[in-house]
Amino acid sequence: MPFYNKFFHHYLQVSRFFTKKLNEHLSKIDLHQAQWSVIYYLHEFGTATLVEISTYLNVEKPTITRTVNRLEERGFIEQIPGKDKRERRIQLTDLGVHTYEGGKKIVDEFEQNIMKDIPENDREVTRRTLRSLQKNLKESGK
């Protein structure tokens, strides 16, 4: 079996397991990974449209719309006026910022724990590899 077959099979296993474990940790604040990703994005980048979020997260717009609607119902985000009346811009509420702060502590602790035995040079090689894979994936659709 070629290296890339084993590599991507293992990558998918790690990705699914990571998401499962992250969801277990985020359940402490009644969130799951998809919701956390939107909250994280809004905290890091400020107000955004659904298209901006879906593009950044590489998720279909209807999926982001459902996630955003749930976050809005829970009071974590709110709509704000955009330049164009058709544009739906959203931002974190005070509750959303507070939730981000609690979630960030949980996520940081989780991520630090699973990276603890990996040498820094291996971490950097992995980061570069993932960036290259992302770039190649973007270019493969052209």
**75 found inside a domain:** yes
pLDDT tens for each residue of 82-91: 777 777 899 9
- Domain presence at residue 35: yes
One-letter amino acid identity for 134? Answer: Q
Residue 35: domain span? 25-120
The secondary element (H helix, E strand) that includes residue 26 is helix 3-26
Q: Which residue has the higher pLDDT, 86 or 51?
A: 51
Position 135 in a domain: no
Residue 109 lies in a domain: yes
Dihedral sign from CA coordinates of 72, 55, 109, 43: negative
Kindly indicate the confidence band of residue 126, based on its pLDDT and cuts at 50, 70 and 90.
Answer: very high
Q: Looking at residue 88, what is its pLDDT?
A: 80
Report yes or no on 132 lying in a domain.
no
CATH number at residue 106: 1.10.10.10
- Give the number of domains in the chain: 1
Confidence (pTM):
0.89
